[in-house]
Chain A
Amino acid sequence: MTAPAVQGARTTPAAAQPSRRGGGRDRRRGHRVADLAGVGPPMLLFCLFIIVPMIVAMVLSFVRWNGLGTPHWAGGSNWAQFFRDPVARTSLVVTLKVVGLSYVVQTPISIALGLFIAGRQRYRAVYASLFVLPLLMSTAGISLMWESLLDPNFGALTSLAKSWHVAFLQQNWLGDPGLALYVLVAIIAWQFIPFHTLLYQVGRRQIPQVLYEAATLDGAGPAATFWRVTLPQLRYTMVTSGILMVVGSLTYFDIIYIMTDGGPGFTTRVLSLDMYDAAFLQDQYGYASVLAVLLGVLGIAVAVSLVRFTGFATMASQQEGAA
């Protein structure tokens, strides 16, 4: 009896509407008021704290203002400044590097760890809680901890390198222009892999066991099962995790700000740091807004295109014929 009821609920639009249309007018208006009352407050907050600031940032990007006195209309000069500013160009490149590297480093490790802790081996729970540990630490704590570990004079890594005579461990980790960015990407990965691991763990757990049984019957080995069953079934998890990774690292700020503040030189100066400096250290709110708008547009564009090209929006079932 339950099955048809569910079926009916799913097909509500086509099947149920004609019968309601007759006497449902007032009721529907009543619904609309109730809907508005329900949606109104969050919509209002959304407008007040998301939409309005976005519009303000757009407007600010066309004025010259140091935070004091009256803003002056600057036309497109802030935007022109962006295209002339070599530091902004460098920052854009560094940001894209952080995004790309973060994705490439974090995704495979997260999938591997996620599949591992979704399994049923012994001590799985112990490993799982160890892996998730960085997720519990505050970003400032992580930054300061790594900073002191990597200190070129007093750091633990330097001491290790000296006592074990391992020369390559003795590096100027955060001060070497060729190294600092990769060190930061690694630390960011260390911080965020646990989160994505959890996503993949959940994703793996939701794959029906019958698919694996069928694959085994068809004679698929572990590798084939992974490529033909697990990975395709994790597609939406990959999209979700990918969007979070890409958009998150696009606007990433804290660890970089605390650990290198963009240095050495401009080698780790991401766009969000450039924006922070422009607004709060140089009091150029107009120019900072240009960078903010740019980051916003970039983030939305990436998220939308990821959703589009992966067919995420349609949410079509991946398990046709499985159930």
Chain B
Amino acid sequence: MGDTSAARRRWMTVGVAVAAALTLAACGSSAGSGRNGSSSGTATMWIVTTGPSPANTAIQNLVSSFEKSHAGEKITLDFVENQSFKQKIQLAMGAGNAPTIFFTWGGGVLQQYIKAGDVQSLGSSPSWASSFLPSSLGAVTYNGQIYGIPVSGTQPVYFFYNKAIFSQYHLTFPTTWDGLLSTIATLKSHGIAPISLANGDQWPGLMYLEYLTDRIGGPTVAQDLQANKANAWSNPAVTQALTDIQDLVKAGAFETGYDSVHFSGSGSDALVYSGKAAMQLMGDWDIGSILGSDQSFVTGGNLGMAPFPTISGGAGNPSDLAGNTASYVAISSKATATQKKIAEDFFADALSSTNYAKAEVAAGEVPVSTGAASLFRGQSLASYDTTIYSSVQSAPSFQYSWDQAMTPQVANVMLTNLAQIFELSETPARFVSTLNSQAASGS
């Protein structure tokens, strides 16, 4: 009998092992999170990545130094590929199986999770809130409660331009919309594509709409849109902005094939650094992106950076910014008490520390910490970083990228319809009515 029971036990062990393996496989990297790891002192964390980068290393180092200084608290860090992340987190959330600490861009998607009760509130003013620039927490604030903490640098949008082209034709970068239009005419007469636009990706075109509505109607226009107010799209500033965009198109401001050019690969960047196009409206990641494909162009001082021009008679402040204020991490409400404690410690003691801000700067990012201004000295791109940081610091309004801030239901329809605006195959009036009805049905 002893033999058989031993054999049976062995088989049971195998069975359990197989079951465990299957469970692990099924949960993927989320194993040990949520309800699975109820008694463990380990929190799990998902961070979005586009590939190996110094920023990833900075987070890895932060986690290991946190674990050293906090005995018994462990964080399992997983990097999730950017493209698949939105789907992956949506599925994990829907299944109540999210990691303890999850990456988010804030805005409308995070709001969906908050409304579904999946996100842990961090209170109206957590102890670390004062370590960050006030404008940086708007994207994770909902009904007066804060739900996330910045985990990576700020990404405002500027015009990036080829200085060589501008000096060749004795141009300075225009500060007004009319100036921009005449610069475009000059560049065009010399056979240079004035603006490089990667509208094959659709989101680059959105940056024009964001800035134009701000310059024309001020920051409240976007706030109303993002709050999904009824008929917010009917604001005359939106129509004017759409008309201005179509005027740019009609003036031949964009390169041939702008609606099939992509940002990645030999896309819109290559047009600028190869001298085929003069400028591009893009997030500040463009500096790193061009540095990666044509280092000497950046280090040789050929890459100019300028704010979006003003519009005469417009209500917006010329220092207003648009872009991604930062990206964040938040805590899953389904995590255990132990896991939440670890996560809150990690937020208060690690993510908001000056050491992490320093590591971010070293990784080429511009952190949104209050005291970061002095950290850029000696960095290779210090001049860009300092300008970006001070413009974020002094911006009266920093509107969050609409495609992130709005609910996915509205954002996607907005992007496809805006692409049609750029192709002149849709009128501003039709765009407005489509978006109004989509916003009404999506809420």
Contact = CB atoms under 8 A, between A and B. Distances in A.
Q: Do A and B bind each other?
A: yes
Interface string B399-414: 0000000001101110
B296 to A, nearest CB: 19
A173 B411 CA distance: 27
B419 A68 contact: no
Contacts of B259: 172, 175, 263-264
Interface string A145-179: 00010011110000000000000000011110100
A147 B12 CA distance: 54
B260 A283 contact: no
A18 B412 CA distance: 68
A68 B93 CA distance: 7
B161 to A, nearest CB: 17
Interface in B379-420: 408-409, 411-413, 416, 419-420
B134 to A, nearest CB: 30
Contact of B260 (A263, A266, A284): A263
B116 A68 contact: yes
Contact of B270 (A87, A154, A172, A277): A154
Contacts of B112: 66, 68, 283
Contacts of B255: 152-153
9 contacts: A68-B118, A148-B266, A153-B257, A154-B270, A172-B260, A175-B259, A177-B423, A265-B425, A281-B408
A237 interface: no
Given A153-B255, A172-B257, A175-B257, 17 more contacts: A67-B90, A68-B93, A68-B94, A68-B116, A152-B257, A152-B260, A153-B271, A173-B260, A175-B258, A175-B260, A263-B200, A264-B425, A277-B416, A280-B87, A282-B408, A282-B413, A283-B90
Interface string A252-275: 000000001111111000000000
Contact of A174 (B117, B260, B270, B423): B260
A134 B409 CA distance: 38
B337 interface: no
Sorting the interface of chain B by its residue count into under 10, 10 to 19, 20 to 34 or 35 or more gives 35 or more
B51 interface: no
A172 B409 CA distance: 31
B352 to A, nearest CB: 29
B94 A67 contact: yes
A173 B420 CA distance: 17
B7 interface: no
Contact of A283 (B258, B276, B408): B408
A262 B200 CA distance: 10
Interface string B7-23: 00000000000000000
Nearest to A287: B409
B395 to A, nearest CB: 30
Interface of B: 86-87, 90-91, 93-94, 112-113, 116-118, 200, 202, 255-261, 265-266, 270-271, 276, 408-409, 411-413, 416, 419-420, 423, 425-426, 442
Nearest to B265: A148
A261 to B, nearest CB: 8
Interface of A: 66-69, 87, 148, 151-154, 172-175, 177, 180, 260-266, 277, 280-284
A contact face: mostly helix, strand, loop, or mixed: loop
Contacts of A68: 90, 93-94, 112-113, 116, 118
A69 B423 CA distance: 38
B408 to A, nearest CB: 5
A143 to B, nearest CB: 12
B408 A175 contact: no
Contacts of B200: 174-175, 260-261, 263
A228 B345 CA distance: 82
A87 B118 CA distance: 33
Contacts of B94: 67-69
B271 A283 contact: no
A281 B259 CA distance: 20
Nearest to A269: B416
Given A152-B257, A153-B271, A277 B425 contact: no
Given A177-B425, A265-B420, A277-B412, A152 B256 contact: yes
A260 B261 CA distance: 10
Contacts of A175: 200, 257-261
A41 B294 CA distance: 57
Contacts of B260: 152, 172-175, 180, 260, 263-264
A264 B408 contact: no
Contacts of B423: 177, 264-265
A69 B90 contact: no
A153 B408 contact: no
A280 B90 CA distance: 9
B266 A151 contact: yes
A264 B258 CA distance: 10
A78 to B, nearest CB: 11
Contacts of A151: 257, 261, 266
A23 to B, nearest CB: 41
Q: Specify which of B113, B202, B257, B423 lies most central, judged by the most chain A CB atoms within 10 Å of its CB.
A: B257
Contacts of A66: 112, 409
Contacts of A282: 408-409, 412-413, 442
A263 B409 contact: no
Given A265-B425, A266-B416, A153 B90 contact: no
Contacts of A69: 94, 116-117
